[in-house]
Amino acid sequence: MTEQLLEIGGRLAALRDIMDISAEQMARDLNVSVGEYLAYERGERDYSFSFLYNAANILGVDHVSIIKGESPKLNQCALIKDGEGYTVEQGKTEEYKHLAYTIRNREADPYLVTVQPGGGAQTWHSHKGQEFNYMLSGSMEFRHGDHGYQLGAGDSLYFDASVPHTMKALGDRPARFLAVVMK
């Protein structure tokens, strides 16, 4: 259990209380057991991107607010310099850099995603909306439901994000891609 997991869990619990939503309802809406959900609130479980994204939608907040603990400023333009962006790590193999976290009421969420080769079990994601992924470097296997795709630099994939999906870097280099999640 890390400090970040404890902080995110505390914010998740506080927002749920403010919205007067029971832990049972949250668990049901997130398709997890009540015990699993409460372990998230206690900071005992690592969060997948899709879990936080879906929880934020239920709570009516931006997912960055749950992760970062502050509401982003309303900007007309978001400039993110190379190597910057708000970073969310998913285990040891996936890193997401949010590239527009300062904009409220976004219609899309752009991320620079890096998937390291190797690692343990792949994390399956699902969330409302659609997603567009554009490969920048490396190669990866992308699974969307029962279908698998091999992607290399310059390839793209547009899909229904409510269908469970996962990715795995191929070879010995990280796979990097731009992911745009549309609500």
24-28, 66-70, 151-155, 156-160: least confidently modelled range: 66-70
Determine the pLDDT at residue 78: 79
Determine the pLDDT at residue 146: 96
Tokens of 125: 């994601």
- Tens digit of each residue's pLDDT (9 = 90 or more) over 74-91: 567 778 889 888 887 777
Tokens of 171: 């070879």
CA-CA distance, 41 to 93, in Å (whole number)?
23
Domains of the chain from N-terminus onward: 3-68 (1.10.260.40), 86-182 (2.60.120.10)
pTM (two decimals): 0.69
Average pLDDT, the chain: 88
Determine the pLDDT at residue 182: 95
CA-CA distance, 164 to 50, in Å (whole number)?
10
